[in-house]
Amino acid sequence: MLNRSLLLYVAMSVAVFSAACGYGFRSRGNTWEREQINKLYIAPLVNNTLRPGVEVPFTSAILKEFSQGGRIQVTSSRESADAVLEGAVEQVDSSVFSTTTADQVSKNLPLGQGLDSTFVVAQEYSAKAQISFSLVRLKDGKGLWNQGVSSSRLYPAANQGGDIGNTGVLINNSRYTMALNELAKQLAVEVHDLFFESF
C-alpha cells in the first residue's frame, strides 16, 4: 500500500500541473517549428482608425516584444521570412470614465470663487484599443492563426487652475497619447504570449 504522503504529493502535483497549464503546458521555445516557421516578418500595422499615426507605437511595441522574447527569429524583410504576422489597429478611442462636480475641483479657491456644484467635469478617462492579427505562411499562403486583442487604460483628466472646471485639451491629448503608448506595450505582451500558446 502506498504511503499516504506519497499519494498526497502525486495528487498535488497533478492538480498544480493541470491548473497551471489548462490541461497542457506553455513551452518556452518556438511552438511554430511544427509548421516550418522559424523566421517571422512582422508587417507594419494597418491603421483602420481616424487617428493618424496611431499604428506606429503599436507596431514598435510588438516588434520589440517579439525580438526581445527570443523564441523566434524576427527578420527585417518579408523575403527572408517563413511567415508574416500582419495586423490592423481596428479601434482607438477615449471616453469619460468618472466625473466630479466643479465645486469639488474648485473647493480650495477663496470664498466666492468656487464653481457651481451642478457643473459636471471629467475626473478620469478610459483609453481603449482593439487590434486584429493574422499569421500567413509564405510558402503556400496558408493562414495559420487569427487573433483579436483589446484592452483599456485609465488616465486622469487635466483640470487646470486658470480655468477650473474645464479640462485642458492639449494636456488631455498628451495624457491620451501616453495612455495609448502604455496600452501598446500591454497588448504587445498579450499578443506575444497568445502567439506562442501551446497545448
Distance in angstroms (rounded) separating the CA atoms of residues 190 and 152? 13
**Phi and psi, residue 65, nearest 5°:** -65, -45
Q: Of how many residues is the chain composed?
A: 199
Task: Give the model confidence (pLDDT) of 158-188 as tens digits.
Answer: 764 444 445 567 778 889 999 999 999 999 9
| Spatial separation of the C-alpha atoms in residues 107 and 186, rounded to whole Å | 37
- Grid cell, residue 83, equals 511567415
Q: Which range scores top for mean pLDDT: 1-10, 32-41, 189-198?
A: 32-41
What is the DSSP track for 46-68? EE-SSSTTTHHHHHHHHHHHHHH
**H-run or E-run covering 198:** none
Integer angstrom CA distances of residue 113 from 101, 117, 165, 166: 15, 12, 12, 15
pLDDT tens for each residue of 14-52: 444 443 443 334 457 889 999 999 999 999 999 999 999
How many Cα atoms are found within 13 Å in the side-chain-facing hemisphere of 52?
A: 0
